[in-house]
Amino acid sequence: VLVGPGLARQLADLPPIAATPGQVFVITDHHVDSAWPDLLPGVPRLVFPAGERHKTRPSWVELTDRLLDAGADRHATVVALGGGVTTDLAGFVAATLLRGVRWVAVPTSTLAMLDAAVGGKVGVDTGHGKNLVGAFHPPHTVVVDPALLATLPARSFREGLAEAVKHAAVADAALWRWLEEHAAAVIERDVDLMAELAHRSLAIKAQVVSEDERESGRRTILNAGHTVAHALEHATDLELPHGEAVAIGLVVEARIAERRGVAASGTAARVATLLGVLGLPVTVPERLDRDRFVAALQHDKKNRDATVRAALLADIGIVARDDDGDWTLPLHAHEVTAALG
């Protein structure tokens, strides 16, 4: 993972691209293509329509065919330039093309810079749900240039910060204090602070993931806030953006942990305060349909033995474990709805 303001302008000189024996292709969406037309001049660009609804198998077919038409062979390198949709989709194209070619992630959204570009999960959505077809195919290199965030719409910018808050909450109390101290400058997109935040946030994710690449044990702590978040997203027909749902989910799950006596008192208030300063919502939408919320909660894909489970905080930086050493604890639907406030 290379992190630094200005790195995107030097992409052609960076080792994975400068030293490749094969052809290089950029895959990007049409927003990022028009915001950053001059990166990697002379390298063929495959542009797809922006948005989660294009993270699909038809997009994968089209991009794969275009690469093959252009003569891509197993030495090809795919550069994914964009947000999490682009890194997931282009990473999946790279994972399957000729049984796997090298790819480089150049994240352009906060969410991708602080989270999605690292971890190796790539894939597409289906009519049955998000991310249901995919692979584990880590990028060869991740190039993080916070200067690319300049053109990101404000709501998207703030949304991605929720995942960094989550990383600090589950694993790094020092990063949490750093965020409390620097929140105001972070939302101004100070490139040096964003570089430090990306470095620390990705390091947490990389460390947790490298211990547990296929998500059987500790990696589940990265789902903190997400049990409630996924149910909120489904109950609002995905109108609530993912990062905003995660922000609310972190607060609600911290409240559950506190009410159970699992988390230190004051934990939920601290979570809500930091997220609020970062411009993220911390209360559930007023019009939330609670019956749909409960139905969605009970369908969460992380559920085992038909119980809803979540990684709960014991304190800032520490996840609670049950008597068997498990990283998630069962939740009762009634305590979740009670904690919605």
Ligand X SMILES: NC(=O)c1ccc[n+]([C@@H]2O[C@H](COP(=O)([O-])OP(=O)(O)OC[C@H]3O[C@@H](n4cnc5c(N)ncnc54)[C@H](O)[C@@H]3O)[C@@H](O)[C@H]2O)c1
Identify which of residues 85 and 97 has a Cβ nearer to ligand X in the complex.
85
CB of 230 to ligand X, least distance (A): 11
CB of 264 to ligand X, least distance (A): 28
Bridge partners (DSSP) listed for residue 298: none
Question: Angle at Cα 38 formed by Cα 36 and Cα 43, nearest 5°?
Answer: 115
CB of 19 to ligand X, least distance (A): 26
Environment class of 38 (CB within 10 Å of its CB; exposed 0-12, middle 13-18, buried 19+): exposed
Identify which of residues 4 and 22 has a Cβ nearer to ligand X in the complex.
4
Binding residues vs ligand X (CB under 6 A): 29, 31-32, 35, 50-52, 55, 82-86, 88, 108-109, 111-112, 115-116, 119, 121, 130-131, 148-149, 151-152, 156
What's the rounded Cα separation, in Å, for the pair 94 and 88?
A: 10
Identify which of residues 151 and 210 has a Cβ nearer to ligand X in the complex.
151
Angle, nearest 10°, between helix axes 267-277 and 173-187? 30
Q: Write out the catalytic residue numbers.
A: 99, 121, 163, 205, 215, 219, 223, 226, 230, 242
Alpha helices for 172-301 (secondary structure H): 173-187, 191-211, 226-235, 242-259, 267-277, 290-297
Using a CB cutoff of 8 Å and minimum separation of 24, what contacts does 131-135 make? 131/88, 133/57, 133/92, 134/88, 134/92, 134/95, 135/92, 135/95, 135/96
Identify which of residues 115 and 253 has a Cβ nearer to ligand X in the complex.
115
CB of 303 to ligand X, least distance (A): 19
Identify which of residues 51 and 266 has a Cβ nearer to ligand X in the complex.
51
CB of 282 to ligand X, least distance (A): 19
Containing H/E element for 79? strand 77-82
Provide the 8-state DSSP code for 318: E
